[in-house]
Amino acid sequence: MNLLKINWLNFALYDSFTGVPVSQPNIYLEKASILFNIGALYTQIGTRCNRQTKSGLEEAVNMFQKAAGVLTYLKETFTYTPSYDMSPAMLGALIKMLLAEAHECHFEQTILSGVQNEFCTLAKVAQEAAKVSEIHLHVYNAMNQAPIKENMPYSWSVMVQVKAEHYKALAHYFVAIVLIEHQLGPHDDEDKQEKALSQLYDHIPEGLTAMNILKDKQQRTQLGKAHLSKALACHEEALRLSSLCSQLKQIDVLQDILAAFHKRALLKFTQHQKEDDFMSKAEFKAEIILPPLSRVKVIDLFQRLGPLSVFSAKQRWTAPRKVCLTLEDGDLGFVLKGDCPVQITSLDPLCPAAHNKSATYSAGMQKTYSLVCLDMHDDKIAKTQKATKKLSFLSWGFRNQQKASSTLCLPTASAGKPDSSKLFLSPYNTLASDSAMY
């Protein structure tokens, strides 16, 4: 009798997350693969539903729940599959994600027709948003487990974080609206509002009750501002997380939604931004003290250069010419006026030195001279007195209508007769002295 040779039939599949092929001569692997694909089809149908209508949201919720049911059956029935996709850790994370999507669609269905601006309705919406955020946080924790963290798509993980922060921000926002804009009125049901408020918090600080918060306007306002601040922080965190993923940054609809909700929370926070501060009062008032510039005696930094009206580019001086002055009876024949450079204000033609020794007639100049003093001694003398003191003259000149001037270089004049050795000194010899002022 010939024995029949049996050829085993291998069933193969490729993991969707790792791309690694898996084959096994077991019909149960093929059954598990079919169930996994059925769950994937349910999720695709759920994402294709019209989430702008109530019926579309209901169908989406139903599809995500069915997908979660198929994966749950697969996890409980086929416990020893070699596929990474159907490992208990991966199936558990996928089931949590599908249930989170179902809760999100249900929340969208709740607010589809708008949120009624009423105390209990807003409190209920806040709790629904907080639940959606909590579920997405559990999904994120499941995705970051060691067995599946390496193969989980990065965009999935970031998207779950963004949704957790986004819905957490919505929860804080609606609670803030409840506390700030819905003060307890005489016709409101206190017991109903107290119950709704007490259900919002796990615990209330010692010394406070839900009724005390409802009746205390200041306490409600401060608590509402705190919730608005937290909502802003969560919205900003959602925007930050979405900017970290290049794939999420390319989804314009997601970025627009996050920015719109952040702007709404920021606007509400700005409306109630005024701080309840103390009344300002102070005994001291700061005043402006001007510097006493008029009482400070200063020396011009450019004093040694001479007056700007004389020593400037506007004045044109001729080449130096030497003139010898000789005192006659203690008189030079002219009168000086002003400080250095002094001016010749008057000529004395009756002076004995006028016709033969005075610079007025020796140089043939007019009587409007500018006399430049190189070295002025400390001898005190009246400015209008005739020049009899010791002066070291460098030059003098006169200004005509064309603002041209002639320059005369003069030696030292003394009260006695002139020293013949000083009659024709070079004007540049005196410039080497440290006492030169101009």
Conformational region of residue 383, where left means phi above 0, alpha means psi within -120 to 50, and beta covers everything else: alpha
- Residue 438's CB is within 10 A of a number of other CB atoms, namely 17
Q: Considering the domain boundaries, does residue 438 fall inside one? A: no
- As a whole number of angstroms, the distance between CA 106 and CA 125 comes to 11
Instruction: Please give the C-alpha separations between residue 200 and each of 11, 38, 126, 132, in angstroms, as whole numbers.
Output: 53, 39, 8, 15
Token pair 């598990």 is at which residue?
32
Instruction: Please state which of the ranges 11-20, 121-130, 215-224, 274-283 shows the lowest mean pLDDT.
Output: 274-283
Q: Is the dihedral of CA 326, 328, 330, 332 positive or negative?
A: negative
Asked whether residue 103 falls in the same domain as residue 215, the answer is yes
Q: Considering the domain boundaries, does residue 296 fall inside one? A: no
pLDDT at 324: 61
Query: What DSSP character marks residue 294?
Result: G
pLDDT at 339: 65
Domains in the chain: how many in total?
2
Do strands 369-376 and 391-397 pair parallel, antiparallel, or not at all (unpaired)? antiparallel
Instruction: Please state which of the ranges 118-122, 126-130, 374-378 shows the lowest mean pLDDT.
Output: 374-378
Q: Which of 172, 165, 132, 161 minimizes the C-alpha distance to 269?
A: 172
Asked whether residue 147 falls in the same domain as residue 264, the answer is yes
Q: Considering the domain boundaries, does residue 281 fall inside one? A: no
Asked whether residue 230 falls in the same domain as residue 340, the answer is no
Q: Considering the domain boundaries, does residue 290 fall inside one? A: no
Asked whether residue 322 falls in the same domain as residue 260, the answer is no
Query: How much of the chain exceeds pLDDT 70, in percent?
Result: 68
Summarised one tens digit per residue, pLDDT across range 216-267 is 888 888 888 999 999 999 999 999 999 999 999 999 999 999 999 999 999 9
Asked whether residue 366 falls in the same domain as residue 234, the answer is no
pTM value > 0.75: no
pLDDT at 292: 84
Residues with Cβ within 8 Å of 226's Cβ and at least 6 positions away in sequence, in order, are: none
- Do residues 357 and 326 touch, judged by C-beta distance below 8 A? yes
Asked whether residue 247 falls in the same domain as residue 324, the answer is no
Q: Which two tokens stand for residue 431?
A: 């410039």
Count, residues in the chain:
438
Per DSSP, what are the bridge partners of residue 334? 347
Structural domain range at position 255: 11-271
Last residue of a domain, one of 238, 271, 304: 271
Phi, psi of 399 (to 5 degrees): -110, 125
pLDDT at 259: 96
Burial 123-135 (b: 16+ CB within 10 A, else e): bbbbbbbbebbbb
